[in-house]
Amino acid sequence: MQFFLDTANLDQIKKFSDWGVVDGVTTNPTLISKENVSQEDRIKEIAKIVNGPISSEVIATDYEGMVIEGRKMAKWHKNIYVKLPTTEAGIRALTTLKKDGIKVNMTLVFSAGQALLLAKAGADLISPFVGRLDDIAEDGMALIAEIVAMYSNYNFDTKILVASIRHPRHVIDAAMLGAHVATMPADVLEKLIKHPLTDKGLAQFLADFEKVKNIQ
């Protein structure tokens, strides 16, 4: 399973890259706006730190605008995945950008029907938003299960990037289902390493060693 960081913050990206677990980065206009930087500059900075897929989202909502922006972004770095919304204009832009050989991540996926259509159209990645479905009392992980089953029935090349992850359980469930990628905020990645019994056990080991340290 690949782990992507869902952030545009360089400190977070550097920190977790040092852990050796960051395969890629996803950004969106909200994450870029939190950093108060130019999208192009930030994406290029991220590409210097992480050698893997980096998603950069278009702002245009019309077909022509998405294609222009997507082509421009694809020139920023070889690892750019142009992120397009799952709309009628978005699926047309996906088809055009794929003909150019540009990698595409289709975002804001909320149904199995959307996921099926996007795989047929040749998306490289699709991003189903599990947390936002859970937020409206739907079952985000049930959607992932449906998409995994559909894609494996037909051997689609499209990879499932589980997005809008809120907690470590989402990551575990996505892995149990065999999703290809989980993109998560820094706090979720950090929580994956923590366990109170690890801290308690370590404190006990150190306390016990303290009792005999004079005879070492």
Our CB check for ligand E4P shows the closer of 8 and 216 to be 8
Binding of ligand E4P at residue 81 (CB under 6 A)?
Answer: no
Pick between residue 84 and residue 155 the one whose CB is nearest to ligand E4P. 84
The reply on whether position 6 binds ligand E4P by CB under 6 A is yes
Stretch that binds ligand E4P, among 9-17, 91-99, 124-132, 145-153 (CB under 6 A): 124-132
Site for ligand E4P in 176-215 (CB under 6 A): 183
Catalytic residue ranges? 83
* 86 sits near ligand E4P (criterion: CB under 6 A): no
DSSP string, the chain: -EEEEE---HHHHHHHHHTT---EEE--HHHHHHHTS-HHHHHHHHHHH--S-EEEE----SHHHHHHHHHHHHTT-TTEEEEEESSHHHHHHHHHHHHTT--EEEEEE-SHHHHHHHHHTT-SEEEEBHHHHHHTTS-HHHHHHHHHHHHHHHT---EEEEBS--SHHHHHHHHHHT-SEEEE-HHHHHHHH--HHHHHHHHHHHHHHHHHGGG-
Binding to ligand E4P, residues 90-119 (CB under 6 A): 107
Q: Which of 164, 171, 174, 181 binds ligand E4P (CB under 6 A)?
A: 164
- List residues binding ligand E4P (CB under 6 A): 6, 26, 28, 107, 127, 129, 131-132, 163-164, 183
